[in-house]
Structure 1
Amino acid sequence: MQSTDRSSASLPPADDALEAVITDVELRLAGLAQSLLERDGGAIDTAATALQQSLARALDTVRRAARQGAVPPALRQRLVVASGQVATQRNTLARATAALDRAIEVLLPREASGYTANGAAALQAHSGLARA
């Protein structure tokens, strides 16, 4: 997480709401990252759902703030950093999923299509054709 001055004392009320949702997204991102490090499936699911809800709230709040005026540069930068963290975590999860799929394929290979050591008999047994 980026270290910035998050004092809301100098922010207008609309910026306070934006500050709060950005902070929540950052906390949820950190929670998901911790769950990923611990490889706790249940915690990952819970953290991912919480992050998704937090991102939806943040998007809504940012849209409202943008309609009322500009999003302050410091808060915009935090959003960019958070967005980059989401992309990084998504990429990490995609790579982990691909690695898991490869490992499962090695452990439980799919049946080969075509002729096998058993020859045509194996193909006929799995062809779906009925013989009279």
Structure 2
Amino acid sequence: MSNPTPLIDPALEDTLAAVESRLASLGEALRARDAAAIDSHATELHRALARAVDHFTHAARSGSVPPTLRRRLARASGQVAAQRESLARATAALDRAIEVLMPRDVPGLYSSIGGSDRSGLRGGSVQA
């Protein structure tokens, strides 16, 4: 006789499906570079992940998380990590581009009193 397939709690399935759906929506917004949609979908994903953690933690305590849902949750976790890494790389590239276009204070330029750094030197004489 074969092992029966464990029953999947509909709440766990719905919670995980919501996370997967939010991940897909966020991925589309990222590809479209739609800042408003990215912000909205990221917020929705955050809420869905919080609900999923609560549901799965409760289910794990009672020992009733089927392997199929565990694999799907692990896959979703990997997608979140990949999107986070992608955003981090994009942010770093943007920061570098901004730095090139709008550099901070440029050292080594002459000040209004002559040389590049005349702090503390007044009156033209140097004391040893």
TM-score after normalising by structure 1: 0.78
Cα separation, 2, equivalents of 1:123 and 1:40: 45
Residue 102 of structure 1 pairs with residue 96 of structure 2: yes
The aligned residue for residue 28 of structure 1 is 22
The aligned residue for residue 46 of structure 1 is 40
The aligned residue for residue 7 of structure 2 is 11
Deviations 1:77-121 (A, max 9, x none): 0000000000000000000000000000011011123x31x2574
Cα separation, 1, equivalents of 2:7 and 2:112: 76
The aligned residue for residue 56 of structure 1 is 50
Cα separation, 2, equivalents of 1:110 and 1:120: 19
Cα separation, 2, equivalents of 1:67 and 1:119: 68
Cα separation, 1, equivalents of 2:42 and 2:78: 16
Cα separation, 1, equivalents of 2:32 and 2:25: 11
Identity over aligned residues, as a percent? 55
Q: SS at the partner of 1:71? A: coil
Q: Runs of 5+ in structure 1 lacking a partner?
A: 1-9
Q: CA RMSD in A?
A: 2.2
Higher fraction of helix: 1
The aligned residue for residue 126 of structure 2 is none
Deviations 1:55-82 (A, max 9, x none): 0000000011011223100000000000
Cα separation, 2, equivalents of 1:25 and 1:95: 23
Shift in CA distance, 109/21, structure 1 to aligned 2, threshold 3 Å = same
Q: Runs of 5+ in structure 2 lacking a partner?
A: 1-5, 123-128
Residue 71 of structure 1 pairs with residue 72 of structure 2: no
TM-score after normalising by structure 2: 0.81
Deviates more, 1:56-65 or 1:66-75: 66-75
